[in-house]
Structure formats: structure tokens, C-alpha cells
């Protein structure tokens, strides 16, 4: 790794003295004006990662479901997955380097500790629709080139598209955007063959005014020919993620903009700003009936089990990976009704993905709608041997192509849900009745230092501050079917609260009680919740 140009280049991107970036689930996120130094350094880091792994890495300039004024960077390993967790500490140290000398010193430490070889580094760079993207893409490119790497500018893409493309490069397969679309469409058409609905299905999609809207527009004609008509809303006329998008719908349980008056029978979905989250919903009175990531995981598991019924040979082990945010009823349905093995991990798809790869088929979706389905290499090899004579094997191979096995993908997820509903001959109402959600409520409490709250047991129990968990236990015990936990946010200076109970009133009261306990014990700032 050539560091000769690094110091001079890093002077163009000084870090604000008051800015302390912190690596979250997949990278960094903050107000866009603060980020040029961080993104420059991430460009250099991913060039080093490319040399270390002898593979092409990726970088996406996006802040996902955050407001328009924010931006961020998500980092992609050569496998197409998120940056390996062992390298997150390097990312944090580099992002917080004080000045160009410190930047050089951190990269020299990285080079020495990881034995980075010389060679050709290549980093694929994409971005979403934010106005701040151009400057930050320039910073990323400069970082890559400052250590002798080559930046491949891929332009406007969803985050999952870049993950998929990097993975395809890793596997030596076609990796263009055209290949991305054609691969999914071919698999979707194959799974529907002989099972198409008698009349066209209409799906209203809230596109969050983000990058996903334009990508779905590219698919509209082909999907219409296959019987799925997309009615796209919030495609760029409004403000990114404001009053719309999967995060808004899932957290606020309100209809997004441009979806008022669509009718109670309308089938609707919502994606987020960079199109890696997906939820479905039905308008219901003044609000909506939500089909979140838990519901999608349950539908996927049911569909996959139906396909496996026709497969000959040894049984296939299905694992469903959830976090503590998963509704308790969904966990019970998956475990007790479907007989799936359920694993609970800390929040963050990197943790779920890490567990999902341990199964023949690993299904993971966070409640927020971020997730996918993974097929093990051994199972895929077995299916390829059987496909000539077994339709079930062909269907499962098509499903493996339909889902984005690199990362959660809202576009791929829509196709998964639509084909599952048709193959199972299931209405939205029937999907919703697989199990009844326990009422829940999420809140967040602003605190002086979120790190004062630490957790254990997959974030279901608080270790510090002293007395916090005891107070939570007491509140839960007073609530019928009560369950609650708290965790420090990975992206904001807040502590997140989740509460669940037999009634909505009970969940709301438990959440407020827990929020007050957090405020009192974690030295909250601002008015008490």
C-alpha cells in the first residue's frame, strides 16, 4: 500500500475538532457537512481492505432512512457482505484521527498489523439521491487514490445493488445493473410459471423519495407483463424520508404521504431511502395494518417449507434469526407452529447475517424490514444435482436467485413477498392472520452519554447503570404479558426503549414507565418522557 500521497491528500479533508464519528451497523452516519474527512478515510480503508483480501471492495455514500440533511457511508467486503467486524475498530480509529499526521500513523499501524501486501486495490463506489453525495463521492475517490487504489464510480444505486454487484464480482459472475435486474426477473418469472394469478395484481409502493423509486420504475414494464402492476408514490417530488418511507411507516404506524384515500382494500408497501428496508401495509381507518419484517420472515419460512415438501433426500435445516425487537407472537409462531429453529441476536443485520450462514437456509429480518434469505453452498450444490428431475429443487434454486444473498434488499424483498403470496394462494388478510401481534411501543430517550447503558443476552437485559434492570423487571412484572428492554442507539445519542404487552394501553404505559426509569438512571437531558 503506497502511503506517499496520503498526508497531502488528507489535508483537503480535515476533521472538525468537535466531531467524534462512531461506527454503527454498517458504517458512519452524521450531518453531511461533518463527513468529508470520514468518507475520505473510509476510501483509504477500503482500498487497504481490497489489498488485504485480494478482492474488490465497495463503498456506498448514503444515510439510509435518515433525514435529507444527513449522509453517511456503508462499507462492503469483497464477499458482498458488510465490512468484517474485526476491521470496524480500524475504521473507528481512522475516522477519529486528529490530523493528517495521525491519519498516516493509523494507516501505517493497519498496514503493519494486517500485513497489507502491495498490489492493485479496487473499490466500487455508489451513492443515493442526497444533494451532498457528489462532494462525498469525491472524498471517497480521493481516499482510494491517495493510497494507490482505483475507484470505480458506479453512480446512483441502491445500497443493496452495490452489495450484489460486489458479490457478483467476487464470484466471477456478471455484475452490471442490467444483470441485477435480469437475474431477479428471470427467477421471479420461473417461480410464477404455472402459478400466475388470474388477473393482474396491483401494489402501491411508497418509495420514500429515494433512490429506489427510479429503480422500481425501470422494472415496471417487465413486472406488468408478469402480472404485477406497480403504482409508485413518493418518487422524488417530496423530501427524502420525510413523512414517508419504511422507517416512518414501521415506527409511526401512519400512512405515508401520497397514500391518503387509497382505499381499505389497497395492497401497499413502503421502502426506505436507500431501498434496503421493506414493510407492507393495508390502510385501516385513520392508520394502517402493518406487515413488518417479522411478518415477512414468517411468510418466507412458510413458503420455503412448502417448497421443501417436494424435495427428496435429507431434511434441510431452516433457521430464523431475530432480534429482541421481534414481536413475541412471531417468535412463538415460527418456533411452535412452523417448527423452525429461532436464534436471537443483538440488533444490527451484521449479527443476524453471521448466524444465518450457519443453517442450510437462514432467514433473517429485523422488525424494521431489513433482511433476506441465505442458502448454504452445500445446499445449493445438492439442489443443482437434483434439479434435472425434481421441480422442488428448481424452485429452490430460483428462490436463491430471487433473494439478494449479500444483504437486505427491498426490491428483491417485494418480489419474494409477491411470489410467496401467489404460490401459497394467500391473501393479505390470510398472511396477517398467521399470528396476532402483541401490541408494542418504541420510544427513545435523549441522554448525555448513551454508552452509560450497556446490555447483555442479545441486548435483552441491561448491565449498567446499576439498578436499571431491576427497575425494568419490576415494571414488566406489573404488566400483563409484559416484555421490555432498552439499548443504546448505534446511530444517535439516545437510548431506545421497546415495550410489549397484552393491550396497546399496557404497552404504551410500560414504554413510558421504562423511558422515565432510563431518564432517571442514565442522567437524561431535556424534559423527562
- Cα distances from 73 to residues 86, 197, 212, 242, 442, in angstroms, run 18, 41, 17, 20, 26
267 is in an annotated binding site: no
Q: Per the omega criterion (within 30 degrees of 0), is the bond before 465 cis? A: yes
50 annotated as a binding-site residue: no
> Phi and psi at residue 90, in whole multiples of 5°?
-65, -40
State how far the Cα of 140 lies from the Cα of 41, in Å rounded to an integer. 7
Q: Is 437 annotated as a binding residue?
A: no
Nearest of 4, 10, 25 to residue 491 by alpha carbon = 25
366 labeled binding residue:
yes
Contact 49, 77 (CB under 8 A): yes
Check the annotation: does 490 bind a ligand.
yes
Query: For the chain, how far is it from start to end, CA to CA, in angstroms?
Result: 51
Handedness of CA 387, 391, 395, 396 (dihedral sign): negative
Helix pair 391-402, 293-308: axis angle to 10 deg? 160
Q: Which residues of 502-525 are buried (b: 16+ CB within 10 A; e: fewer)?
A: eeeebbbbbbbbbbbbbbebbebe
Task: Report whether 276 belongs to an annotated binding site.
Answer: yes
Could you give the angle at the alpha carbon of 408 between the alpha carbons of 403 and 410, nearest 5°? Answer: 80
The pair phi, psi for residue 341, each rounded to 5°, is: -80, 125
- Assess contact for 400 and 304: CB atoms under 8 A: no
Cell 412448502 belongs to residue: 306
Catalytically active residues, by annotation: 64
Annotated binding-site residue? 64:
yes
Distance CA 145, CA 23 (A): 23
Q: 121: which strand partners?
A: none
Q: Count Cα atoms within 13 angstroms, Cβ side, for 366.
A: 23
Say if residue 433 carries a ligand binding annotation.
no
Q: Is 465 annotated as a binding residue?
A: no
Alpha helices in 23-121 (DSSP H): 36-53, 88-95, 100-114
Strand, coil or helix: 521: helix
Annotation-wise, does 389 bind a ligand? Answer: no
CB-CB contact of 464 with 454 (8 Å): yes
487 is in an annotated binding site: yes
Closest C-alpha to 38, from 106, 86, 85, 84: 106
Query: Residues within the annotated binding site?
Result: 64, 272, 274, 276, 366-368, 487-491, 496
Query: Residues within the annotated binding site for substrate?
Result: 366-368, 487-491, 496
Query: Residues within the annotated binding site for Mg(2+)?
Result: 64, 272, 274, 276
Amino acid at each position: 500500500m503506497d502511503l506517499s500521497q496520503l498526508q497531502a491528500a488528507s489535508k483537503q479533508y480535515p476533521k472538525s475538532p468537535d466531531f467524534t464519528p462512531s461506527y454503527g451497523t454498517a458504517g458512519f452516519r452524521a450531518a453531511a457537512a461533518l463527513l468529508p474527512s470520514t468518507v475520505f478515510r473510509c476510501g483509504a480503508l477500503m482500498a487497504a481492505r481490497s489489498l488485504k483480501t485480494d478482492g474488490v471492495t465497495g463503498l456506498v455514500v448514503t444515510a439510509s432512512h435518515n433525514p435529507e440533511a444527513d449522509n453517511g457511508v456503508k462499507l462492503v467486503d469483497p464477499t458482498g457482505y458488510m465490512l468484517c467486524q474485526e476491521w470496524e475498530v480500524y475504521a473507528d480509529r481512522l475516522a477519529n484521527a486528529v490530523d493528517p499526521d495521525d491519519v498516516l500513523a493509523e494507516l501505517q499501524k493497519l498496514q503493519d498489523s494486517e500485513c497489507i501486501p502491495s498490489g492493485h486495490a479496487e473499490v466500487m463506489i455508489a451513492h443515493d439521491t442526497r444533494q451532498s453525495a457528489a462532494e462525498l463521492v469525491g472524498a471517497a475517490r480521493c481516499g482510494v487514490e491517495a493510497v494507490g487504489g482505483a475507484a470505480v464510480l458506479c453512480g446512483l444505486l441502491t445500497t443493496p445493488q452495490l452489495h450484489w454487484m460486489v458479490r457478483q464480482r467476487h464470484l466471477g459472475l456478471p455484475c452490471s445493473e442490467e444483470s441485477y435486474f435480469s437475474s431477479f426477473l428471470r427467477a421471479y418469472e420461473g417461480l410464477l410459471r404455472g402459478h400466475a394469478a388470474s388477473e393482474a395484481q396491483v401494489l402501491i409502493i411508497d418509495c420514500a423519495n429515494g433512490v429506489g423509486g427510479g429503480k422500481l420504475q425501470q422494472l415496471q414494464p417487465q413486472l406488468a407483463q408478469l402480472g404485477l402492476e406497480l403504482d409508485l408514490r413518493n418518487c422524488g417530488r417530496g423530501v427524502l424520508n420525510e413523512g414517508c418511507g419504511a422507517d416512518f411507516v414501521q415506527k409511526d404506524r401512519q400512512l405515508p404521504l401520497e397514500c391518503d384515500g387509497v382505499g381499505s382494500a389497497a395492497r401497499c408497501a413502503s421502502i426506505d431511502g436507500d431501498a434496503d428496508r421493506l414493510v407492507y401495509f393495508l390502510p385501516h381507518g385513520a392508520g394502517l395494518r402493518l406487515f413488518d419484517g417479522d411478518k415477512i420472515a414468517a411468510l418466507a419460512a412458510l413458503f420455503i417449507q412448502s417448497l421443501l415438501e417436494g424435495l427428496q433426500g435429507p431434511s434441510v435445516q431452516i433457521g430464523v434469526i431475530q432480534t429482541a425487537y421481534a414481536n413475541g407472537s412471531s417468535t412463538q409462531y415460527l418456533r411452535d407452529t412452523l417448527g423452525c429453529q429461532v436464534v436471537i441476536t443483538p440488533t444490527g443485520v451484521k449479527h443476524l447475517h453471521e448466524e444465518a450462514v450457519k443453517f442450510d437456509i437462514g432467514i433473517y429480518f429485523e422488525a424494521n424490514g431489513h433482511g433476506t434469505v441465505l442458502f448454504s453452498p452445500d445446499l445449493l450444490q445438492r439442489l443443482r444435482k437434483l434439479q434435472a428431475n425434481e421441480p422442488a429443487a428448481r424452485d429452490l434454486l430460483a428462490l436463491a436467485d430471487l433473494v439478494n444473498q449479500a444483504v437486505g434488499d427491498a426490491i428483491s424483498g417485494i418480489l419474494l413477498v409477491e411470489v410467496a403470496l401467489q404460490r401459497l394462494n394467500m391473501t393479505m388478510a390470510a398472511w396477517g392472520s398467521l399470528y396476532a401481534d402483541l401490541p408494542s411501543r418504541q420510544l427513545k430517550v435523549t441522554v448525555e452519554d448513551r454508552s452509560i447503558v450497556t446490555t447483555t443476552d442479545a441486548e435483552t437485559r441491561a448491565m449498567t447503570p446499576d439498578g436499571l434492570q431491576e427497575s425494568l423487571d419490576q415494571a414488566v412484572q406489573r404488566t400483563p404479558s409484559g416484555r421490555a428492554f432498552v439499548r443504546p442507539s448505534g446511530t444517535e445519542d439516545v437510548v431506545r426503549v421497546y415495550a410489549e404487552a397484552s393491550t396497546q394501553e399496557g404497552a404504551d404505559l410500560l414504554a413510558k414507565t421504562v423511558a422515565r426509569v432510563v431518564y432517571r438512571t442514565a442522567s437524561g437531558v431535556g424534559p423527562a418522557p
